[in-house]
Amino acid sequence: MSETAKITPDYSFDEGLRLERVSHIVPAAEGTENKLSNDGRIIQISPERIEELEANPWLDINKDQKEKAIEQLKNPRYIRGLGGVGIEVALIGDPSAGELQAVYYGWGGAFRHPNAQREAVNMVYANPDVAYMVMNGPGIGNSGMLPKSVQKEIRQTGSYVPAGEYYAKVLEHVAQDYDEVNVAGHSLGARQAAGIVANMEPGAVSELRLHDPTGTRDMSLGGIAVGFFGKEGAEDARYAKESASPTAKEAGLIPLAVEAPHLRDTEYAKGVQFSPEELDRPFEAPKNGWIQSFLVDPSGLKRNAFEGDFQAAAPNVRKRIDILVPELSHLNKWEDIQMIVERARNIRNIPNIPEISQWNILRHTHANMNQPASLAAIYSVDLEY
């Protein structure tokens, strides 16, 4: 029996979150080899911090902060970008802050959903001094569908760089108001994040944080279903049973109404040329939104395509990339991601590689990210060397 097989998940976060660095790449001077180490550094997010994040955001003393975050989700921005495709984003936290942190959801994530509201409240509590941007993906809420050519490319290649071109224009538009831009994503959202950064100007993004990105090895659709819905679904139930966080029902959260954006409120992404028809086109609710979630994404995620997207994104990050991998994930093998990270050390087409670290989240599975306290802790922890 392997050592990993003997490890049991810490569903109740009795050990908090322990992050172990298993790969660390430090850029060297041009013409010399980048430095690779496996220093085993540990970052500890204490059990007390997790307990605080589970309970405190919902206390009466923080009622105003909670209600403000939910109100911000009720008032998203509708931004048209490439091809006139409209994308819905919401800014939560402190919109006037100097730092913007874009966070991209996992499969099916929608910011009006009660679970997304829980996550928003927790993230804002964990780090109230930044502006968070969250996005509804294609066909979710008011976000339009990607062109069929882009859908086809995702299905055939597994790469999210083509989709990232559409999302990046929206992020660039929002980022005009901020001094520093960081990008993060979990599960499918980590793939979207890499695809987006691959389409950004070099240096526009300070930090990229990826939480258990999918598509790191070839899998069948059946294998994805078993890993995601079967194994991680069961793990999610075990985490929920041990959680001290209020459920959406206990917190009084309900799905937020979807209201069509008015043409007068529609924004147009900077740097995109629009035809007169696109400028005057009235809003139309997306049709057949299920196609992206149930046909396009599963077909793409069964392919081993993360490495290519990661290599395309890396040179555009100014400071650092951190990949966090639950060591007991049923969707990834952390050793596979370690090989991907370490191969980036000497990629010739990455002339300005940033600092890159892989952190294993000890004694946890992919489903840890479904606990709002854990997700907020991962996105707010300081990973600086």
d(CA 173, CA 47): 38
pLDDT in tens, 55-89: 999 999 999 999 999 999 999 999 999 999 999 99
Q: Could you tell me the two tokens for 267?
A: 């924004």
**Is the distance from CB of 144 to CB of 282 less than 8 angstroms?**
no
What confidence tens digit (pLDDT) does each residue in 334-385 have? 999 999 999 988 766 566 789 999 999 999 999 999 999 999 999 999 998 5
Average pLDDT across the chain, whole number: 95
Going by C-beta distance under 8 Å and a sequence separation of 6 or more, which residues neighbour residue 368? Answer: 17, 239, 326, 361, 374
pLDDT for res 6: 84
Q: What pLDDT score does 350 carry?
A: 63
Mean pLDDT across the stretch 312-323?
96
Q: Are 213 and 194 in contact (CB under 8 A)?
A: yes
178 in Cβ contact with 98 (< 8 Å):
yes
Query: What are the phi and psi torsion angles at 165 (to 5°)?
Result: -60, -40
The CATH homologous superfamily of the domain defined by 3-380:
Alpha/Beta hydrolase fold, catalytic domain (3.40.50.1820)
pLDDT of residue 274: 95
Q: What is the mean pLDDT of residues 4-9?
A: 80
Compute the distance between CA of residue 118 and CA of residue 126 in angstroms, rounded to an integer: 12
In the chain, where the domains are located: 3-380
Q: What is the pLDDT of residue 5?
A: 58
What is the value of pTM for the model shown? 0.95
| Residue 13: pLDDT over 80 | yes
The proportion of the chain whose per-residue pLDDT surpasses 90, expressed as a percent, equals 89
Confidence of residue 242 (pLDDT cuts 50, 70, 90): very high
- Beta-carbon contacts of residue 64 (< 8 Å; ≥ 6 apart): none
Where in the chain does DSSP place strands (E)?
A: 17-26, 35-37, 42-45, 77-80, 86-93, 99-104, 131-136, 180-186, 205-211, 267-268, 317-326, 355-361
What's the rounded Cα separation, in Å, for the pair 357 and 345? 11
pLDDT at 233 over 50: yes
pLDDT in tens, 199-218: 999 999 999 999 999 999 88
- pLDDT band of residue 125 (cuts 50, 70, 90) is very high
- For the cut 60, the answer to whether the pLDDT of residue 3 exceeds it is no
| pLDDT computed for residue 1 by the predictor | 39
Tell me the CA end-to-end span of the chain in Å, nearest whole number. Answer: 35
Please state which of the ranges 9-23, 27-41, 252-266, 305-319 shows the lowest mean pLDDT: 27-41
pLDDT value of residue 28: 81
Burial 80-106 (b: 16+ CB within 10 A, else e): bbbeebbbbbbbbbbeebebbbbbbbb
Decide if 87 contacts 81 (C-beta within 8 A): yes
What residues form DSSP beta bridges with 320? 207, 355
DSSP per-residue letters across 298-348: HHHHTS--HHHHHHHHGGGEEEEEEEEEETT-SS--HHHHHHHHHHGGG-T
Give dist(CA 31, CA 169) in Å, integer.
Answer: 34
Residue 263: the pLDDT is 87
Q: Is pLDDT above 90 for 4?
A: no
SS (H, E, C) 33-92: CCEEECCCCEEEECHHHHHHHHHHHHCHHHHHHHHHHHHHHHCCEEEECHHHCEEEEEEE
Tokens of 289: 């939104």
